[in-house]
């Protein structure tokens, strides 16, 4: 298709375009981009625009000089500029990585980089209309090399006129090339679903105002989408399972998978759209934020104690605590004692040393105690511990840890017997 205009005499050739669909707005954006960035392909007479047949997204692959690229581009890109413009889709820049140092050296020595993925979107940022989606480290290397007059051509893959679903797709496939973390992928998916989970974390104190979810789980880092989902899911799991006797029912928390669509989470949001207005859930979130703060404060000036300091954010601890809070939601006295764990005199509300000594004869020799793993056994043991603690509210002690572990294994044995008896009765 020849769309030559006398005011801008280069051709735009659309490849894969459905002739029945309008391309006027896309063409306008392409010509705006070309006027500002002067891609080599336009200067030589023809710019090819491709159509991703899976999503219908339009893009071109072209070469732009570093000076033009850097002058009008940004890596500060929002996944949802209309509704959640303050939250970023990209990972944090890893400045001390050896590969990044090599990249910067290559750029200074006039290497031409390729496959930098971007969206031309002047509506989001008129001064910097080219948002870099994939290739932020290469972009920074090019930026620094430009200070040394390394003004080379670099290959860009530029998208135009994306809708929200197309934008998410581009974000995902661009970051997958550089092994996107599962937590970053979760964050992108949750951003598309809406701001509710993040807003809830802000309101409860699990995130500070303006903070976004972490892009990778690590001790001392920001709470991730997976952790937040784990808390909410298990609060409702506990409420759902609170009718049978605690001692004779399976009280195992669940943990949603990371980096994939979570059917458990999606089903919960669909069935309970009003969870964000649930005062009981909100109070549980605030109380757990208090526990995190108290645990951190207990070890804030102690060297080599990061594991103990961040004990509350072990995903098994979080899942079990939330499950217990949901289970006790209708038992005001015991729930108060459960929530009171964060206020125990003497600091270290989780009693890390007691947890570390808690073991069972079936545990492997390298088991380091409760709150160090995330498997189903770990989660189940911790539910027993928090449930027992709420009986008297005297805090976590070595004796309580031992009883909780023993009760867990007795319960699992009873549940196995029930299962076998059921099979026997059906024969």
* 253, pLDDT greater than 60: yes
Q: Which of 5-9, 244-248, 273-277 has the highest mean pLDDT?
A: 273-277
> How many angstroms separate the Cα of 314 from the Cα of each of 12, 177, 306?
54, 29, 12
| Cβ atoms 141, 103 nearer than 8 A | yes
Task: Give φ, ψ of 134 to 5 degrees.
Answer: -130, 125
Give residue 79's pLDDT band: very low, low, confident or very high (50, 70, 90): low
* Of residues 310, 314, 51, 35, the one with CA closest to residue 160: 51
**Average pLDDT of 334-346?**
89
Give residue 350's pLDDT band: very low, low, confident or very high (50, 70, 90): very high
pLDDT at 175: 66
* 4, pLDDT greater than 50: no
Provide CB contacts within 8 A for 23, sequence distance 6+.
14, 17, 58
* 83, pLDDT greater than 60: no
Burial 390-408 (b: 16+ CB within 10 A, else e): beebebbeeebbbebbebb
* Of residues 314, 89, 108, 80, the one with CA closest to residue 185: 89
Point out the least confidently predicted range of 155-164, 307-316, 413-422. Answer: 413-422
**Average pLDDT of 295-305?**
86
Give residue 169's pLDDT band: very low, low, confident or very high (50, 70, 90): confident
Tens of pLDDT, residues 195-215: 999 999 999 999 999 999 998
* Of residues 389, 167, 158, the one with CA closest to residue 291: 389
Q: How far apart are CA 294 and CA 296, in angstroms?
A: 5
pLDDT at 94: 59
Tens of pLDDT, residues 139-151: 999 999 999 999 9
pTM for the predicted model, two decimal places? 0.70
Give residue 164's pLDDT band: very low, low, confident or very high (50, 70, 90): confident
- Average per-residue pLDDT for the chain: 90
pLDDT at 90: 54
* Residue % of the chain over a pLDDT of 70: 92
Tens of pLDDT, residues 272-285: 999 999 999 999 99
pLDDT at 2: 37
Provide CB contacts within 8 A for 20, sequence distance 6+.
none
Strands (DSSP E) contained in 7-152 are: 11-15, 46-51, 58-65, 73-74, 116-120, 130-134
CA atoms within a 13 Å half-sphere pointing along the CA-CB vector of 346: 10
* Residue % of the chain over a pLDDT of 90: 69
Q: How far apart are CA 279 and CA 283, in angstroms?
A: 6
Give residue 427's pLDDT band: very low, low, confident or very high (50, 70, 90): confident
Q: Which of 76-80, 189-193, 358-362, 401-405 has the highest mean pLDDT?
A: 401-405
Q: What angle do CA 344, 347, 348 make, to 5 degrees?
A: 100
Tens of pLDDT, residues 308-331: 999 999 999 999 999 999 999 999
Residues paired with residue 65 on neighbouring β-strands, in sequence order: 153
Question: For the chain, what's the residue count?
Answer: 427
Residue 211: both structure tokens together = 């903070």
Dihedral class, residue 139 (left if φ above 0, else alpha if ψ from -120 to 50, else beta): alpha
Q: How far is CA 117 from the centre of its chain?
A: 21
| Cβ atoms 227, 313 nearer than 8 A | yes
DSSP secondary structure code for residue 88 in this structure: B
pLDDT at 243: 83
* Of residues 64, 56, 206, 195, the one with CA closest to residue 129: 64
**Average pLDDT of 375-389?**
97
* Domain boundaries defined on the chain: 11-180, 193-425
pLDDT at 176: 57
* 87, pLDDT greater than 60: no
């Amino acid at each position: 298709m020849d769309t030559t205009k006398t005011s801008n005499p280069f051709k735009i050739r659309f490849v894969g375009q459905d002739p029945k669909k309008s391309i006027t707005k896309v063409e306008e954006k392409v010509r705006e981009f070309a006027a500002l960035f002067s891609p080599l392909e336009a200067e030589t007479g023809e710019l090819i625009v491709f159509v991703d047949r899976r999503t219908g997204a339009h893009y071109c692959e072209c070469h732009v000089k570093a000076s033009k690229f850097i002058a009008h581009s940004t890596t500060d890109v929002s996944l949802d500029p209309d509704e959640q413009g303050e939250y970023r889709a990209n990972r944090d820049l890893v400045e001390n990585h050896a590969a990044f140092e090599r990249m910067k050296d290559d750029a200074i020595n006039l290497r031409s980089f390729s496959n930098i993925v971007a969206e031309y979107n002047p509506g989001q940022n008129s001064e910097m209309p080219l948002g870099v989606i994939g290739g932020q480290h290469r972009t920074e290397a090019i930026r620094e090399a430009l200070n040394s007059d390394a003004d080379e051509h670099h290959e860009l893959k530029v998208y135009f006129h994306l809708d929200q679903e197309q934008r998410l797709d581009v974000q995902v496939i661009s970051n997958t090339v550089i092994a996107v973390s599962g937590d970053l992928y979760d964050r992108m998916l949750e951003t598309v679903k809406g701001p509710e989970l993040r807003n809830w974390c802000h309101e409860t104190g699990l995130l500070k105002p303006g903070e976004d979810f972490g892009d990778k789980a690590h001790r001392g880092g920001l709470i991730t989408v997976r952790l937040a989902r784990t808390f909410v899911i298990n609060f409702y799991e506990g409420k759902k399972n609170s009718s049978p006797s605690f001692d004779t029912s399976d009280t195992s928390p669940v943990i949603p998978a990371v980096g994939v669509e979570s059917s458990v989470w999606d089903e919960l949001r669909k069935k309970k759209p009003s969870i964000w207005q649930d005062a009981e859930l909100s109070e549980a979130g605030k109380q757990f934020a208090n526990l995190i703060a108290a645990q951190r404060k207990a070890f804030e000036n102690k060297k080599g104690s990061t594991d103990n300091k961040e004990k509350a954010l072990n995903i098994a601890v979080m899942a079990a605590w939330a499950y217990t809070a949901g289970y006790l939601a209708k038992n005001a006295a015991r729930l108060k004692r459960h929530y009171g764990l964060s206020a125990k005199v003497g600091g270290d509300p989780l009693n890390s040393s007691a947890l570390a000594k808690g073991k069972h004869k079936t545990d492997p020799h390298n088991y380091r105690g409760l709150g160090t793993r995330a498997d189903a056994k770990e989660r189940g043991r911790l539910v027993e511990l928090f449930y027992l603690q709420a009986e008297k509210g005297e805090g976590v002690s070595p004796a309580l840890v031992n009883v909780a572990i023993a009760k867990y294994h007795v319960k699992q044995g009873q549940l196995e017997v029930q299962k076998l008896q059921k099979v026997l009765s059906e024969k």
